[in-house]
Amino acid sequence: MRKHLTAGAVFATAALTASVLAGCGSGDGDTIKIGAVAGLTGQFITAEVAKTAQRVFDDVNESGGINGKKIEYIVKDDAGNAQRTAQVARELADAGVVAMAGSASFTDCAVNDGFYRQQKISSVMAVAATPKCFQSPNIAPVNVGPFTLMTAVLLHATQKLGDKAICNFTALLPGDEDAVREALARWEKLSGQALRVNDMTVPQSGDLTPYLLKAKEADCDAILFNPSEQLVVPWLQAAKTQGMQDVDFLLLAPAYTDSVAKAVGGLGLNVYAGSEFEPFTSDSLANKGWRDTVTRAGAAATAFSQGGYLSAKFLVEVLKTIKGEVTRDSVNAALRDMTPIEDPMLGTPWEFGPGEAHAPNQASKIVRLTGLRWVVVDDTFVTVPNA
Amino acid sequence: MLQLSAAVAGLVTGGAYALMGLSTLLTYRLVAVVNFAQAAVGAFGAFGMVLLHEAGLPLFPAVVCGLAGAAVIHMGLGAVMVRWFSEAGEGVKAAVTIAVFTGLVAVGLRLFGGQHPHRFPSPFDSPVATVGGVVITWTAVVTMALAVLFAVLPTVLLRRTRVGLLLRALSERPTTAELIGIPVPRLSMVVWGTAGAAGALAIMIVAPQLASDFGSQALLITPALAAALVGGFRSFAWTFVGGVALGVLQGLASTVVALQQYRGVLPFLVILVVLLWTRRRDRWDSMA
Band of the pLDDT at A13, cuts 50, 70, 90?
Answer: very low
For residue B135, what is the domain's CATH number? 1.10.3470
- pLDDT of A310 reads 97
Range of lowest pLDDT (A365-374, B142-151, B166-175): B166-175
Q: Which structural domain range is residue B32 located in?
A: 2-286
CA–CA separation, B114 vs B108, rounded Å? 8
A198 touches B at CB < 8 Å: no
Q: Which residue has the higher pLDDT, A128 or B250?
A: A128
- pLDDT of A16 reads 43
Q: Do B1 and A241 make contact, defined as CB atoms within 8 angstroms?
A: no
Q: How many CA atoms lie within 13 A of A173 on its CB side?
A: 13
Band of the pLDDT at B62, cuts 50, 70, 90?
Answer: very high
Segment A100-108 shows an average pLDDT of: 93
Read off the pTM: 0.83
B264 touches A at CB < 8 Å: yes
Asked if the model's pLDDT at residue A7 lies above 60, the reply is no
Please provide the distance, in angstroms rounded to a whole number, between the alpha carbons at the two ends of chain B. 48
> Taking all residues of chain A, what is their mean pLDDT, rounded to a whole number?
89
**Percentage above 70 pLDDT, chain B:** 97
ipTM of the shown complex: 0.80
> Taking all residues of chain B, what is their mean pLDDT, rounded to a whole number?
86
Q: Does domain A146-275+365-383 have CATH number 3.40.50.2300?
A: yes
B247 touches A at CB < 8 Å: yes
Q: How many domains does chain B have?
A: 1
CATH class name, domain A2-145+283-356: alpha beta
B3 min Cα distance to partner chain A (Å) = 9
- pLDDT of A90 reads 96
- Per-residue pLDDT reduced to its tens digit, A207-223: 788 889 999 989 999 99
Band of the pLDDT at A20, cuts 50, 70, 90?
Answer: very low
A354 touches B at CB < 8 Å: no
Residue A337 is classified by DSSP as T
Q: CA-CA distances (angstroms) from residue B141 to A63, B240, B281?
A: 65, 15, 40
- Per-residue pLDDT reduced to its tens digit, B93-149: 999 999 999 999 988 888 887 667 787 887 777 888 888 778 888 888 888 899 999
Band of the pLDDT at A266, cuts 50, 70, 90?
Answer: confident
Segment A136-159 shows an average pLDDT of: 95
Q: Which residue has the higher pLDDT, A349 or A385?
A: A349
Segment B50-59 shows an average pLDDT of: 90
**Percentage above 70 pLDDT, chain A:** 92
Q: Do A234 and B114 make contact, defined as CB atoms within 8 angstroms?
A: no
Range of lowest pLDDT (A23-27, A48-52, B199-203): A23-27
* Domain residue ranges in chain A: 2-145+283-356, 146-275+365-383
Decide: helix, strand or coil at residue B282: coil
- pLDDT of A321 reads 95
- Identity of the residue in A201, A206, A228 whose CB atom sits nearest the CB atom of B210: A206
- Per-residue pLDDT reduced to its tens digit, A241-255: 888 999 999 999 989
- pLDDT of A100 reads 96
- pLDDT of A387 reads 60
- pLDDT of B285 reads 63
A188 touches B at CB < 8 Å: no
- Residues of chain B with C-beta less than 8 angstroms from the C-beta of A40: none
Segment A51-56 shows an average pLDDT of: 96
Q: Which residue has the higher pLDDT, B45 or B186?
A: B45
- pLDDT of A10 reads 42
Please check whether residue B168 is in contact with residue B31, taking contact to mean a CB–CB distance below 8 angstroms: no
Asked if the model's pLDDT at residue B287 lies above 50, the reply is yes
Please check whether residue A304 is in contact with residue A363, taking contact to mean a CB–CB distance below 8 angstroms: no
Chain B (195-214) residues lying within 8 Å, Cβ to Cβ, of chain A: 208-213
Range of lowest pLDDT (A196-205, A313-322, A358-367, B272-281): B272-281
Q: Which residue has the higher pLDDT, B200 or A207?
A: B200
B110 touches A at CB < 8 Å: yes
Q: Mutate which of B115, B134, B217, B244 to disrupt the A interface (most A C-beta within 10 Å)?
A: B115
CA–CA separation, A143 vs A130, rounded Å? 12
Task: For A363, list phi and psi in degrees, rounded to 5.
Answer: -140, 150
- pLDDT of B284 reads 61
Q: Mutate which of B112, B254, B265 to disrupt the A interface (most A C-beta within 10 Å)?
A: B254
Q: Do A230 and B137 make contact, defined as CB atoms within 8 angstroms?
A: no
Residues 6+ apart with CB under 8 A from A227: A171, A202, A204, A235, A254
Please check whether residue B243 is in contact with residue B18, taking contact to mean a CB–CB distance below 8 angstroms: yes
CA–CA separation, B173 vs B181, rounded Å? 13
Asked if the model's pLDDT at residue A35 lies above 90, the reply is yes
CA–CA separation, A245 vs A105, rounded Å? 36
- Residues of chain A with C-beta less than 8 angstroms from the C-beta of B264: 203-206
B250 touches A at CB < 8 Å: yes
Q: Do A233 and B119 make contact, defined as CB atoms within 8 angstroms?
A: yes
Segment A344-349 shows an average pLDDT of: 95
B231 touches A at CB < 8 Å: no
Q: Do A201 and B260 make contact, defined as CB atoms within 8 angstroms?
A: yes
Q: Which chain B residue lies closest to A209 (C-alpha atoms)?
A: B9
